[in-house]
Structure 1
Amino acid sequence: MESILTPLSGGLIIGLAVATYLLLTGKVVGISGILAQTLFSKARFLPMLFIVGLLIGGSAYGVLTTQTVPFPEARHPLLLIASGLLVGYGTRLGSGCTSGHGVCGISRLSPRSIVATLTFMAAGIITVAIVY
């Protein structure tokens, strides 16, 4: 039963956070957009609070539970930098990140977000099929 409750509670918390942020700011949650607001906007308090909440929430989960998540094998730092730059480029090219399209866009029935999320999922499935 615990295996069902953990993702269910996580999804409910994410939904509550997204709805609360939308009600308070009038903006949808997407991590890339929130990060951009934190760096480039004058109204930084709520975006910064959201990012701090993500860090505290993830850390608290790690401290308070006995579940462990295996860390992937070490990767070369240049590969990590290149990967991050490609993700950032894709985020701008796709007008948002996976969390923004998948959580917020689909819940608003945005056709662009539905297509983007299906594309993310298909690319992930194809990549796993090729690599493994």
Structure 2
Amino acid sequence: MELTISASFLPHTDPEASLAFYRDLLGFEVRLDVGYQDMRWITVGPPGQPGTSIVLQPPTADPNLSDDERRTILEMMAKGTYAGIQLRTPDLQSLFEVLESGGADIVQEPTDQDWGKRDCAVRDPAGNLLRIEQA
């Protein structure tokens, strides 16, 4: 059986801030931007990789969530403990400098890790943790 990952989902709380981060800082393409009522789902992905996307979604759009569940999700997002993703780049230092100069929330500067990778960590505008490793 052969499987590929076509999309991962991350919550967002501010569509414009998410676009500025993923499109303008990371350089991802916007593949789809769909609105419904006061919510937006934005699909982004790396140029040259049309089969791999991140869907930025409203965190509490599921009508089956209770008020307590919605509150818990938003609290976890505010702490940066709800969702995350691992990315890879051939030039970690240059990307880190772009993120830092663009005002990204830096969690960890580029570091050689004990497990053999060099990576850094930042949070997107919704608090999602992005670990970015050197390819």
Same-fold call, TM cutoff 0.5: no
Higher helix proportion (structure 1 or 2): 1
Tell me which interval the TM-score lies in, with the shorter structure as reference length: under 0.3
**TM-score normalised per structure 1:** 0.26
